[in-house]
Structure 1
Amino acid sequence: MTTTHDSERAEQLTLLRESALSFATKESPLTRARALRQQTPGFERRFWAALAEQGWTGLLVPETLGGYEQGFTEMAEVVAALASQVAPEPVVPVLVFAGRLLAHAGSTDIATRLLTEVAEGRTLPAVAWQEDITGAKDRTDQAATRLERQADALLLNGSKRHVRPGAGADGYIVSATGPGGLALVWVPADTAGLTVSSQPLADGSYAAQLDLNSVRLPASHLLAEGAHAVAALTRAYDETLVLASVELLALVRGMLSMTQNYLCTRVQFGKPIGSFQSLQHRAVDLLIQQELTASVVAQALALLDDPDSNSSARSAMASRVKSRASDAGLQVAREAVQLHGAIGVTDEYDLGLYLQRALVLSAWLGNGSQQRRRYADLTQNATAQEHA
C-alpha cells in the first residue's frame, strides 16, 4: 500500500532526477569529458564548486554538520545524472567512499571538521586502503601499511595503490595496522614523507599510488581503530560498491541508447540495419542486461536506506550488485562497439567515452569475478553461523 510519505518521496525523487539531468546536460556535455582526458587531476574544482552550490556535496552529510542527511536513493539520482554525461568528477570516491567512512568512523574533532568541509565542497578526501597491484588480495580488515605510536604522534610507513581521485585529493584516509589492530588515519596531502604518484586510467582520469615514508602526524589524526575501524571501512566500502553500480547502470543505459539510435538510422541494402532480426535479438539481449542490473541496483539502494538492515546482508548485496553491474557494463560495451561497426572503434565517436569509463568502473574496488568470490565467502560464512 502506498503511503503519503512514499508518494511525497517519489515526487521529490522525480524533481531531483529532472534537476540533476538538466544540470549535467547543460553544464557537463560530452565535449567537456573529452577535453579533460589526461588533464591532471582529471576534473575541475570549478565544477565541484558548482555541485556544492546545488547542495549535492552535502546530500549524505548529517544536518548538524551542514548537510541534508538524505538517503542513498537520492544520492543515486545525482550520481546517475552525472554518469550519463561521463562527468569526470570523483563524486562516488569522495562523497560516498570517503564521506561515509568519515561518518562511520565517529565524531572525532577532525572527522567532524572534514565532513563539514565535504558538505561545503571545500575539501576532497580520498580513501587509501588498497595495496595489491591487482586488487585481488585486498581486504577491508587488513593492511600491510604499519602504524607506530610515538608519545603524542603517529608514524606511518607503507604504500597504497588505486587511490581515487589521486593527486586531486586534499588528503587521504589511510588504513594501517597498529598496536590496536586496523587503524584509519587522516593524512593531509602536503604532509612531509608522503609521495603521491599519478597513474592515468583508461578513461583519461587518474588514480594514485601513495608512498608513506616515516610520515609523522598528531595523535588527533587517528579516526578509528580496531573493530570499529574495520566495521567503518567495510560499511563505507559496501555503500560505495552500490553507488559505483549506479554509475555503471547509467553508462549501460547511455551505450544502449546510442546503439538503438544507430540501429534505427544506419541504412544498408536500402533499409535500417535495426530491421535485421539477428541485430534485433542482440539488442534485446543488451536490454535484458540493463533491466536485470536496474532491478538489482534498486534492491541494493533500498537495503542501504533500510535502517533495520544488517552488515552481512549489506555486504552480500553490495558484492552481488557490483558483480552484476561490472559484467553488464563490459558486455554492453563490447556488443555496442560491434553493433556500431567501424565507427564504434574511433576515438572521435562518443561511444568510446562510455566504454572507457565502464572499463575503469568495472574493475574499481573489485571486478565481477572478485565480487562473486566475496559473495560466496560471505554467504557461506552466514550459512555456517546459522547451522552453528
Structure 2
Amino acid sequence: MTAMHADSEASRLEKAEDLRQLRESAEDFASRASPLVRARGLRGTALGYDRAFWDALVEQGWTGLLAPQECGGFAQGFAAAAVIVDALAMQLAPEPFVPAVVFAGRAIELSGGGPVHAELLQDLVGGKSIPVVAFEEQSIATAVDLTPRTVRAEKFSGGWRISGTKFNVRAAAGADGFVVSASLPTGSQSLFWVPVASAGVAVESRQTTDGGDSATLALDGVVVPDRHLLSQGSRAEEALTRAFDEALVMTSVELLAIQRAMFAMSLDYLRNRVQFGRPIGSFQTLQHRAVDLLIQKELTAAALGEIVERLDHEGAPRMRSRDASRAKARAAAAAVQIAKDSVQFHGAIGYTDEFDLGLYVQRTIVLSAWLGNAWMHRRRFAALDNVTEGAQA
C-alpha cells in the first residue's frame, strides 16, 4: 500500500469513527429529549413544535452543521447532517430542521457571500431566526416546478416591491422570514429575503396530517430593501435548485428512518400477537409480506447511502438533481407501502390515534408529499436520466 493510499484509508476510517460517535450522541440526545410523547403533545399547537427545543438544537451545534465557519457554522457536510436528521426523525421530532437548516440555510448560502447572507446564516446558526423557503405557486402541483411565474418583483427607487402568492410553505407559522423566489421584469428569476413582519405579508396556516403546519403566503406589494435581494439570474436558479435537491435527499433520510421505525414495530407485533395458539408471524403469508417490506427498506438504504455520499462532492447539477429525485421517489414510495402494510399487520389497533404507529404513518403522509411525491420525482428522474457522469449541464 502506497503512502497516499494509506493516508486515504486512515482519513476514511477517521471520518467513519467521527460519524459513529456523532450518531451515538445524536440518538441518545433525541431519545431522551424528544420521546414520542412530546411529538404527540405538540400536534395541533400554534407552531406545531417547541421553540425551546429548537434552542436545544442550537446548543448542540446542529443548526450550524452545514453553515460555513465564517458564519459561525461547522461546515461538516451532508453525511453528518444525515446522522442528525435520522436521529430526530426516529423520534418524530417536529422541529423544522430540514426546511430551515437544509433548504433555507443552503439557499441563502448558495445565493452569495454578502453581508446580508452572512447575517442571515449567523442568525440561523445562533437560533435567532428560523427561515423557510416559499417557492410553490400552485396549491396542488402535478410536476416539480421551481420557476417563479406569478410572484413578481419590481425595482423602484427605494428597493423592491414583491407581489403574488406562494403555497404549501411548510413550517411557516413559526418562521421569522422567508426565502422567496420571484420573477423579474427581465424574465429572469430571483431570491429575496422577506421578514415575516414586513407590511403586506399575510400567512394563512393550516394544520397538516401530522399536526404541523403548511401555509399560504400572500405578498401584497411587500417592499424590501436592495440588500434583501439574495441573488438573481442563473445564480438564483442554481441556488434554489441545489438547495431543493439537498432538501429532497435529507427528507428521504427522514423517510428511511420512519420506515425503519414502522418496520421494527411491525416485526415486534408479528412476533408477539398470538392467534389460533401461535404468533401471527409464523403464518407464511405474513412472513412473505414482511420480507417484501424488508426489501423495500433495504433498497432505500442502499440508494441513499451512495447519494448522500455524493452530495458532499461537487458534481454536475443535473446529475445531482437526478440523484435527488431518485432518492425521493424511492424513499416516498417505500415509506407509503410500509405504512399501509404496517397498519394492516396491526389490525384494528393500527387505525387508532392512541397507538404510536399512527404518528409515523401521519408523518409519512406529510413527508412523502412535501417537495413532490414519488410519481412527480419519477417523471423528473426520467427527464434527467440521459445525463452521463461527465455532463456539466
- Normalization by structure 2: what TM-score? 0.95
- List runs of 5+ in structure 2 lacking aligned partners: none
Give the deviation of 1:138 after TM superposition: 5.0
Distance in 1 of aligned mates of 2:143 and 2:365 = 20
Distance in 2 of aligned mates of 1:356 and 1:123 = 27
Aligned residues of 2:253 and 2:304 also touching (Cα < 8 A): yes
Distance in 2 of aligned mates of 1:139 and 1:108 = 28
- The answer to whether structure 1 residue 204 and structure 2 residue 208 are counterparts is no
For 2:9, the aligned partner's letter is T
Distance in 1 of aligned mates of 2:356 and 2:283 = 24
Distance in 2 of aligned mates of 1:97 and 1:258 = 31
1:311 aligned partner: 317
Aligned residues of 2:255 and 2:335 also touching (Cα < 8 A): yes
Distance in 1 of aligned mates of 2:106 and 2:317 = 15
For 1:353, the aligned partner's letter is L
Aligned residues of 1:131 and 1:138 also touching (Cα < 8 A): no
Deviations 1:219-269, CA, capped at 9 Å, x for gaps: 111000011100000000000000000000000000000000011111111
2:161 aligned partner: 155
Matches within 5 A, 1:290-329: 290-307=297-314, 309-329=315-335
For 2:43, the aligned partner's letter is R
Assess, with a 3 A threshold, how the Cα gap between structure 1 residues 113 and 48 changes in structure 2: closer, same or farther. Answer: same
SS in 2 for 1:156: strand
For 1:360, the aligned partner's letter is V
Aligned residues of 2:144 and 2:380 also touching (Cα < 8 A): no
Give the deviation of 1:142 after TM superposition: 3.2
Give the deviation of 1:152 after TM superposition: 3.1
- The answer to whether structure 1 residue 12 and structure 2 residue 29 are counterparts is no
1:81 aligned partner: 87
2:202 aligned partner: 195
Deviations 1:132-161, CA, capped at 9 Å, x for gaps: 111224522333201000013100010001
- The answer to whether structure 1 residue 120 and structure 2 residue 126 are counterparts is yes
Aligned residues of 1:101 and 1:236 also touching (Cα < 8 A): yes
Distance in 2 of aligned mates of 1:317 and 1:274 = 36
Aligned residues: 383
| The one of 63, 72, 79 aligned to 2:78 | 72
Distance in 1 of aligned mates of 2:71 and 2:231 = 19
Give the deviation of 1:347 after TM superposition: 0.5
Give the deviation of 1:131 after TM superposition: 1.0
Distance in 2 of aligned mates of 1:135 and 1:85 = 29
Distance in 2 of aligned mates of 1:87 and 1:116 = 23
Deviations 1:70-113, CA, capped at 9 Å, x for gaps: 01010000000000011100000000000010110001211110
- Normalization by structure 1: what TM-score? 0.97
For 1:354, the aligned partner's letter is Y
2:385 aligned partner: 379
CA RMSD of aligned residues (A): 1.3
SS in 1 for 2:166: strand
Q: Once the two structures are aligned, what percentage of the paired residues are identical?
A: 49
- List runs of 5+ in structure 1 lacking aligned partners: none
Distance in 2 of aligned mates of 1:6 and 1:135 = 42
Distance in 2 of aligned mates of 1:143 and 1:80 = 35
